[in-house]
Amino acid sequence: MPKGVYKRKPLSQEHRRNIGEGNKGRISPMKGKKHSDETKLKIKESVLRFGYKPTEEFKKRLSQIMTGRKHSEKTKKKLSVINTGKKHSPESRRKMGMRGAKNPAWRGGRVSLVESIRKSIDYSLWREAIFRRDNWTCVWCYQRGCKIQADHINPFANILKENNIQTLKQALSCKELWNIDNGRTLCKECHSKTATHGWRTYNQLRKFYKNENISRNQL
């Protein structure tokens, strides 16, 4: 048979089970060996060429196998070296910030609206834009290098009430909430002096969202 990559018909589930049963107890010829960089490249090209996608059954089995496993310290160090200096694009960060039942940390809808907004990727990007514009400097006392916080000039609580925001979707589509001109960089001390810091905002939001389980830590 001529050399090359041959596209074959996919194996049926029954055929795969038979192969699996037949291979039980056998030692893999690749045990203790590693693919060369050239072989890895060929495998990658083959996968990309034919658009291989793992089945849902395979994903489920893999998830069950990996549940509870932890990386070794050696693996953690390798991952740290590989990822050092890498930055995800805003689009990638939005995808990574999945919310709802798809997220592995989903807790059945017990997270408050305020907490969901604060933890959204849009909120993180808004904060970063404010800090970058103000050169990571408090606009009141001009300190730099201290703990800084992004503050809404028209208070966060007011925007939620004025726009009657009841869901995360409404919050993400509210332009006023993400308007950079309505933000400023303050150090922790200066931020505590604002009219809507801490308990002041907490009390406003508790009145507006009567059924929300809001804690001060979420503000």
- Measured distance CA(9)–CA(213) in Å, rounded: 55
Q: Is the pLDDT of residue 168 over 80?
A: yes
Identify whether the C-beta of residue 184 lies closer than 8 Å to the C-beta of residue 155.
Answer: no
- Residue length of the chain: 219
Q: Is the pLDDT of residue 93 over 80?
A: no
What's the one-letter identity of residue 45?
Answer: E
- Measured distance CA(199)–CA(192) in Å, rounded: 10
Q: What is the pLDDT of residue 99?
A: 62
What does the pLDDT average to over 87-108?
68
pLDDT band at 204 (very low <50, low <70, confident <90, very high): low
pLDDT band at 182 (very low <50, low <70, confident <90, very high): very high
Residues 6 or more apart whose CB falls under 8 angstroms from that of 188 comprise 146, 147, 148, 149
| pLDDT tens string 37-75 | 888 888 878 777 766 677 788 888 888 887 778 888 888
Virtual CA dihedral for 215, 147, 150, 158, nearest 10 degrees? 40
Bigger pLDDT: 105 vs 150: 150
Task: Tell me what percent of the residues of the chain surpass a pLDDT of 90.
Answer: 28
For residue 72, CA distances in Å to 30, 38, 53, 75, 161 come to 22, 27, 28, 5, 48
| pLDDT tens string 105-130 | 555 555 578 888 988 999 999 999 99
pLDDT band at 201 (very low <50, low <70, confident <90, very high): low
- Measured distance CA(14)–CA(40) in Å, rounded: 29
User: Both tokens of residue 76?
Assistant: 């953690």
Q: What is the pLDDT of residue 163?
A: 92
Q: What is the pLDDT of residue 7?
A: 61
- Measured distance CA(13)–CA(189) in Å, rounded: 64
